[in-house]
Amino acid sequence: MIAVADAGYRAISPDFRGYGLSQPPPEDELASWTHLISDMISMLDSLSISKVYLVGKDFGARVAYHLAMAHPERTVAVMPMGIPFLFKPFPRDLLPEGFYILRWQEPGRAEVDFGRLDVKTVVRNIYIMFSGSKLPVAKEDQEIMDIVDPSTPLPQWFTEEDLTAYATLYEKSGFCYPLKIPYRSWNEELGIPDPKVEVPVHLIMGEKDYIIKIPGLENYIKNGEMKNDVPDLEITFIPQGTHFVNEQFPDQVNEMLIKFLAKHVYEVAGDAGTVVFLHGFPEIWYTWRHQMIAVADAGYRALAPDFRGYGLSQPPPEEEEASWTHLISDMVSMLDSLSICKVFVIGKDFGARVAYHFAMVHPERASAVVTMGVPFLFKPFPRDLLPEGFYVLRWQEPGRAEADFGRFDVRTVVRNIYIMFSGSELPIAKEDQEIMDLVDPSTPLPQWFTEEDLTEYATLYEKSGFCYPVKIPYRSWDEELGISDPKVEVPVHLIMGEKDYVLKVPGMENYIKSGDMKNNVPDLEVTFIPQGTHFVHEQFPDQVNEIVVKFLAKHVQ
């Protein structure tokens, strides 16, 4: 993804339904390959994308082939890896007894096999198994998981951190749907009478890919038979490459990918510019789901990273030394890695503070800034103006938030904070209370925030925990940033909800409405949204999106 972004393309990498952060379809048993195609089309339509390049691996390659057949008008070119074009199911009688696909097609068998082990071990075993050059075939008295010796190390190009990223998301999704699609639906008829892929295709295979050991498959690829159904075909075999050739030899694969795309350039999306979204607490990138689609529809490229130590991002090596300046340098490093020289920055809650500071330190890289929920506050708010028991003061005390949160499961902590921050009153605990005690367990979620939304947040906070999110922002809020003249010289549009509890901080509402903020932010617009809370962008997405897109359009360079 970084390689194609560096080359000027817009990169989109969805999780298929029932994988990773995506929800499974309502009725798993009715899931089919055609749903994967229709999901792709729905995604492209929602983003107003008319035509794309497709890069698919393993069963994703099959989806890419089929999308190109069913919708050639929307496909520029296809680069599959690890799977040649196989329109009809491979003859079952050619597959060896005990072959993993045959085993996993048996209802319930894989579930029982996997169920003996924890999720991380299952993913580890499959990665090791599929990295080999032999077909994964179990003996009659074996299950597929038994093929892998527990002492076998991971491939050297696949780290424990990589494994954790995969395992975390399979902990959420489970394996039920991934066994349905692809294995138990492989023989599905797709209703295509003339199975031909008419767009350009470049197949990349590893010479050591176990797939090639399926009887007849290597000959099918190398003798030119595949060209009967894929006339405009290139094939590259990478010596020593396995089934995960894209992870094993990324530089080599990236070079081929960029050259192939460049031969078939159709359009480069996101000409209006790049928008970087910065989340707050207790949020992750997902908080921007409504705004990312809106700016993409308007022709911008949308980036929404998780801050370090949040969501899928790793914490810094030494958490106790983490600082606000690291958030700024992380931003710069991300933009440099993507070869992006200038961006619009949209920040919410403490993400707004990062946006302001980024624009001060790097004005040459900020086209404009939109902030929500937090005005420009260069100096820490006077502590003596904050009421005793205020959540910020409590969470600044070492260990106090950790002990408070530790009484509950992660989902309940996130639920409580969302409910609390959706109110119009300052969250203040009595002397004999902790902050989590402010929320009545029977209080429902805000109507604009679903149980499914809560699951997305809770899943990732299960991974990250709250240690680093309590450090940044709360215990680093008073950090000196070494800026002698605190002025944001780029255009800024502050969006606040009229019911945002932040306005109840003593003096805050007057500071915003009196114009004092303009002393440090001269080119400032402010919009108050009636009934809007601290999560105004999730609560009133259409209204916020309209404001954002209009503001960006005024400052496109």
Query: Which amino acids are annotated catalytic?
Result: 349, 474, 534
| Rounded Cα gap, residues 144 and 99, in angstroms | 8
Identify the CA nearest to 533 among candidates 472, 447, 475: 447
- The string of DSSP codes covering 128-184 is HHHTSSS--B--TT--GGGGS-TTPPPPTTS-HHHHHHHHHHHHHH-SHHHHHTTGG
Amino acid at residue number 506: P
| Rounded Cα gap, residues 182 and 68, in angstroms | 18
| Rounded Cα gap, residues 357 and 330, in angstroms | 13
Identify the CA nearest to 181 among candidates 29, 14, 64, 20: 29
In the block, tokens 């008829």 appear at 189
Identify the CA nearest to 338 among candidates 274, 262, 272, 289: 274
Helix (H) or strand (E) holding 122: helix 119-130
Q: At what angle do helices 451-464 and 410-421 cross, to 10 degrees?
A: 120
Question: Count of CB atoms within 10 A of residue 98's CB?
Answer: 18
Q: Is 115 helix (H, G, I), strand (E, B) or coil?
A: helix
483's tokens: 């800026």
Adjacent-strand bridge partners of 139: none
Q: Output the CA torsion sign for 13, 19, 25, 26.
A: negative
Strand order in the sheet with 366-372: 301-303, 274-278, 343-348, 366-372, 492-497, 524-529
Question: Count of CB atoms within 10 A of residue 379's CB?
Answer: 8
Contacting residues for 228 by C-beta, under 8 A, at least 6 apart: none
Contacting residues for 276 by C-beta, under 8 A, at least 6 apart: 303, 304, 305, 331, 335, 343, 344, 345, 346
Q: Is 451 helix (H, G, I), strand (E, B) or coil?
A: helix
Question: Count of CB atoms within 10 A of residue 521's CB?
Answer: 25
Contact of 372 with 347, CB cutoff 8 Å: yes
Helices (H), 316-409: 324-337, 350-361, 391-396, 400-405
